[in-house]
Amino acid sequence: MTLLNESVREAAQRSVLGWLATVDAEGQPNVSPKEVWAIADDEHVVLAHIASPVSARNIALQPQVCLSFVDVFVQKGFKLKGSAHEVRAADPAFARWATPLLAMVGQRFVIQSVLVIRVTSVVTIVAPSYRFYPYETTEVSQVASAMRTYGVQSLKEES
């Protein structure tokens, strides 16, 4: 069974940010937002190291990581755990891993290196309402609630 299945891929595409958790040499956690990331294949996620010196340094010391992402409107997402390594621009493997990221950034950012995660576990993230009020909580109701909370209007309403 593929860990990074279609539902994980769809949720990843709807998520604006991923949150990468790493650990430093003293065991202190670090969580960093990642704007440019993609599912590369059935077992790997790639993240652009644009301004991530702490994440890259921590991965070099301790490769175990966790990447979480949530669609803020539906309030569902995934937590991906695995081991990571850094692939620098001079490495022959850089082109393979950087391709989806370069397509995303164009000329906007310089990708210093790629953080490659080999995913070993995938866990669903859902807002508590789905668990505590399963008969009244739907994706539609969650989207409506989030839109009210954030003051967002759909494009249909604006027309």
pLDDT at res. 147: 79
Q: Is residue 133 part of a domain?
A: no
DSSP string covering 36-97: SEEE-SSSEEEEEESS-HHHHHHHHH--EEEEEEEETTTTEEEEEEEEEEEEETTSTTHHHH
pLDDT at res. 2: 83
Query: 133: helix, coil or strand?
Result: coil
Residue 31 sits in a domain of what CATH number?
2.30.110.10
Give the residue, 37 or 150, on which the prediction is more confident: 37
* pLDDT, tens digit, 9 for 90 and up, residues 89-125: 999 999 999 999 999 998 888 999 999 999 999 999 9
Q: Is residue 113 part of a domain?
A: yes
Q: Is residue 111 part of a domain?
A: yes
- Please list, in sequence order, all residues whose beta carbon lies within 8 angstroms of the beta carbon of residue 139, skipping any fewer than 6 positions away: 74, 76
The 8-class DSSP code of residue 137 comes to -
Q: Is residue 153 part of a domain?
A: no
Mean pLDDT, all residues of the chain = 91
* Structural domain boundaries enclosing 68: 6-127
The number of distinct structural domains making up the chain is 1
